[in-house]
Structure 1
Amino acid sequence: MAHAVCAIDFGTSNSAIALPTRSPAGDGVRLVALEAGRSTMPTAVFYAVEGLEPHEEPQRHYGRAAVAAYVEGIEGRLMRSMKSILGSTLATQATDVGAGRSVKYLDIVSGYLRHLKTLAEAEAGQALTHAVLGRPVFFVDGEPERDAAAQAALEAAARAVGFADVSFQYEPIAAALDYEMTVDREQIVLVADIGGGTSDFSLVRVGPERRERVNRADDILANHGVHIAGTDFDRHIELAAILPACGYKGVGPTGREVPSKVYFDLATWHLINTVYVPQRVAELGRMKTFYADLAHHARLMTVVRERLGHALIARAEAAKIAVAEGGQTLIDLSLLGDHGLDVPLDEPQAVGAIGADLQRIVDAADDTLTQAGITREQVDALYFTGGSTGLKPLAEAIAARFPAARRVRGDAFASVAAGLGQHARRVFA
């Protein structure tokens, strides 16, 4: 039975799937390669309706392919953050995807899970019938009935794609399982899961006598989070370091600052395509007289006419990572039409751009302790997971609040899936 088992981390931004393994060397977990050898995939579905005949159904793209189709401007509908509809009335409703087609929100979730299951079965070499799914401590804060409805909806979606037996484990417990395997006494761990869309903190009690428990709800002492994370960092860095080259915060001949809405839209992932609408491009073109530096306006028009908004966000993200790894970088902006145009970014500039967000995240860690009624000194370890914990100033700011706690870094993108895989072995052994 263990070989028919999988574990799914159905995340808000990214998802992963793990297979429990057994070998003479001992039991383990294998992460399934989902895209180009990567073990994680964006939680995204794109319904392509371009050129459809009346009898044809939209073609579905998943993960990075879904994002690429959207960025390329293919006619259709991109669905992201599908997890957020669980527990809401939207779960039972349908949404338009273009060309007169509609699809139920829960069917979107089922379709994505089916895609993950298909990839995992190809790697496992057989059908998978049993699954452990991760779930947040609260799908819906303060509303137990809606929270229960959210889990029931996710379970229904999993069963609809062929899982006969479905179990759940809390995501912070899953993240902490890796650390729990190394401890020889009971400890309190603060799990910091900071990804693309949210920064979540959970205080978890772990220990050798708790490892084999299936129900770990009582081991979660507190859970708190804020909707600030990696994509917010990218936006602020783009506004601070990249978009001034296109006129952001620039002034016109009269000394007045140029209108800023287009720059905020260009730095907000899901609003970028709204800037490419022909009427808006024409309106921006007529704003040339608003700019004292005509080179700024020319670069802005290059961005909107050549649809470079997503490329600029990608450069902001790459610059954030480069600064996190090396302290400084040069951002190549020659795509704006100026050969050799580079702008510098160093750690003080980056921290200055995202400082307010960093403070709110660190404050959320303190709030988690307050909820649990414990002191910082009682925290034995900090467990970092999620892609944005690789940002050194953020990790150090959190760690500075807990100087006596041991720092532990899990897999930035797959620790929850791996922990769920360990739990799946225990549940379905």
Structure 2
Amino acid sequence: MSAALDACGIDFGTSNSTAGWSRPGQGAGASPLLPLEDGKLTLPSVIFFHAEDAHVSYGRAALADYLAGHEGRLMRSLKSLLGTSMIDEHTEVMGRALPFRDLLAQFVGELKRRAERAAGRQFTRAVLGRPVFFVDDDAQADQRAERTLEEIARKSGLKDIAFQYEPIAAAFAYEVQIAREELVLVVDIGGGTSDFTLIRLSPARARLAERKDDILASSGVHIGGTDLDRALNLVSVMPLLGLGSALKSGLEMPSAPYFNLATWHTINMAYSKRALSQISDMHRQACDRPKLEKLQNLVKDRAGHWLALQVEGAKIALSDAPSATMELGRIAQGDSVTLQRQDLNQAIDTLVTSVQQTVARLLRDACVAAAGIDTVFFTGGSSSVPLLRQRILALAPAARCVEGDLFGSIGAGLALDARRKFG
């Protein structure tokens, strides 16, 4: 089989994943992305382990099974484990210890199998996307994270593996749309990281096998949509469950259970025996016991992911509307909270400032004046958050603003890169 025919691009994302195959004879305007779930080109990075029959569901089906009330264990934001000490630990799933490495391998393997089914062929080579930094300011930890992802990918049957920075892959996807040379600032704000590349693109350059000279600079910061969710959750919902309230001793309520519940990949830690015991102690010592009763209801019902989904939904809604209401009746009947966009802006301001500063440093390091940037290309689901977009565009006010496929640009670009590297 030709190398080009067994090579794909895989974007294993924090929130959503895609896979693409750029094959010979494919039209210039056709997307290389492959359908992964019910005809859709994205597979949410979610696994649900059913308690009743040991069945495992993935993606939208996993979320639907969880929300329908099936007994089991939901896992989301799996990619966030890469580069952390948790990757070498395990979690309990239906009474057995499951190493986190095996959990990630299970999802990546399913992603590859679905891509192969859609393409009607086996893939043995792939270009995998990776953030500019899995881990900020720690080169060794960053390399360990990449090696871990490579080991996980090999378990799925991939033999030849290359990596590409995700914003560079997104740039390749944008390049097929342009008719002249452009200096492009690619802004990729996904679920787990914010990544940026300043790159020269053109139809002629797209035919080159080596693009190193076209990349002026790349950078990133470990801030993404899940961090925005956590910030909004801690400010808007967790105080309703007791965060920031007082104990009878006069001390402030311990914050660890709230941070676990507000962080996608640690939600299940709030259901451990140790955590449940701590919450019971907090309830006994609380000055405002009704709030702690809501917290107890939440963990008893294992509804942390449900709550996180409400918060994520509010964040998305506030990107398009001035206000959004979260119905919280699963915690306490009749409870709801209405948020204004300003509430979101205040909750995420510090995070957005860090992202903005990272982009500003990138431009300084590249010695590029803002007036020299032709286009700012946005991709990644969280790049649609208005405050983020406004702050970044302020750094290049004369540039054209282009929104790519927020969830598919990286996977499409990785597929093009796979054909270039392996074809």
> Residues 260-297 of structure 1, C-alpha deviation per residue, up to 9 Å, x if partnerless?
33322221223332332345434433444544444322
| Higher RCO (CA 8 Å, separation ≥ 6 residues) | 2
- The 8 Å contact of residues 132 and 220 in structure 2, kept in 1 or not, is answered as no
Percent identical = 37
Tell me which moved more, 222-231 or 139-148. 139-148
Question: Any residues of structure 2 matched to 1:233-244 within 5 Å, and which?
Answer: 233-244=228-239
- The 8 Å contact of residues 15 and 77 in structure 2, kept in 1 or not, is answered as no
* Cα distance in 2 between the residues matched to 1:51 and 1:167: 40
Question: Any residues of structure 2 matched to 1:319-338 within 5 Å, and which?
Answer: 319-338=314-333
* Cα distance in 1 between the residues matched to 2:13 and 2:299: 32
Shift of 1:32: 1.8
Shift of 1:194: 0.7
Shift of 1:191: 0.9
Specify the code of the residue in structure 1 equivalent to 2:241: C
Aligned to 2:8, the other structure's residue is in SS state: strand
Q: Which has the larger radius of gyration?
A: 1
- The 8 Å contact of residues 16 and 41 in structure 1, kept in 2 or not, is answered as yes
* Cα distance in 2 between the residues matched to 1:378 and 1:183: 17
* Cα distance in 2 between the residues matched to 1:288 and 1:158: 45
Structure 1: runs of 5+ lacking an equivalent: 53-57
- The 8 Å contact of residues 172 and 204 in structure 1, kept in 2 or not, is answered as no
Specify the code of the residue in structure 2 equivalent to 1:354: I
Q: 389, 396, 407: which one pairs with 1:395? A: 389
Q: Which residue of 2 aligns with 1:55?
A: none
- The 8 Å contact of residues 232 and 311 in structure 2, kept in 1 or not, is answered as yes
Q: Which residue of 1 aligns with 2:17?
A: 15
Q: Which residue of 1 aligns with 2:296?
A: 301
- The 8 Å contact of residues 188 and 380 in structure 1, kept in 2 or not, is answered as yes
* Cα distance in 2 between the residues matched to 1:220 and 1:124: 31
* Cα distance in 1 between the residues matched to 2:324 and 2:74: 37
Aligned to 1:126, the other structure's residue is in SS state: coil
Specify the code of the residue in structure 1 equivalent to 2:78: R
Structure 2: runs of 5+ lacking an equivalent: none
Question: Any residues of structure 2 matched to 1:126-141 within 5 Å, and which?
Answer: 126-136=121-131
Tell me which moved more, 27-36 or 254-263. 254-263
Q: 365, 379, 384: which one pairs with 2:373? A: 379
* Cα distance in 1 between the residues matched to 2:119 and 2:143: 31
* Cα distance in 2 between the residues matched to 1:289 and 1:156: 47
Matched, 1:318 2:316: no
Q: Report the TM-score when normalising by structure 2.
A: 0.82
Change (3 A) 1:211 1:264: same
* Cα distance in 1 between the residues matched to 2:317 and 2:401: 22
Q: Which residue of 2 aligns with 1:187?
A: 182
Change (3 A) 1:232 1:130: closer
Specify the code of the residue in structure 2 equivalent to 1:84: L
Change (3 A) 1:145 1:212: farther
Q: Which residue of 2 aligns with 1:35?
A: 37
Aligned to 1:316, the other structure's residue is in SS state: helix
Shift of 1:363: 0.7
Aligned to 1:334, the other structure's residue is in SS state: coil
Specify the code of the residue in structure 2 equivalent to 1:385: T
* Cα distance in 2 between the residues matched to 1:156 and 1:288: 44
Specify the code of the residue in structure 2 equivalent to 1:33: P
Shift of 1:366: 0.5
Q: Which residue of 2 aligns with 1:412?
A: 406
Change (3 A) 1:217 1:300: same
Q: 217, 220, 225: which one pairs with 1:230? A: 225
- The 8 Å contact of residues 34 and 41 in structure 2, kept in 1 or not, is answered as yes
Shift of 1:33: 2.1
- The 8 Å contact of residues 181 and 201 in structure 2, kept in 1 or not, is answered as yes
Matched, 1:356 2:358: no
> Residues 384-413 of structure 1, C-alpha deviation per residue, up to 9 Å, x if partnerless?
111110111211111111101111111111
Q: Report the TM-score when normalising by structure 1.
A: 0.81
Q: Which residue of 2 aligns with 1:177?
A: 172
Matched, 1:366 2:389: no
Aligned to 2:223, the other structure's residue is in SS state: coil
* Cα distance in 2 between the residues matched to 1:233 and 1:122: 35
How many residues matched? 417
Aligned to 1:221, the other structure's residue is in SS state: strand
Q: 327, 336, 341: which one pairs with 1:342? A: 336
Matched, 1:267 2:273: no
- The 8 Å contact of residues 134 and 170 in structure 1, kept in 2 or not, is answered as yes
- The 8 Å contact of residues 15 and 43 in structure 1, kept in 2 or not, is answered as yes
Question: Any residues of structure 2 matched to 1:139-218 within 5 Å, and which?
Answer: 161-163=156-158, 168-218=163-213
- The 8 Å contact of residues 29 and 422 in structure 1, kept in 2 or not, is answered as no
* Cα distance in 1 between the residues matched to 2:342 and 2:76: 36
Aligned to 1:273, the other structure's residue is in SS state: helix
> Residues 205-230 of structure 1, C-alpha deviation per residue, up to 9 Å, x if partnerless?
21232110122122221111111111
Shift of 1:24: 8.5
Specify the code of the residue in structure 2 equivalent to 1:175: A
Change (3 A) 1:389 1:365: same
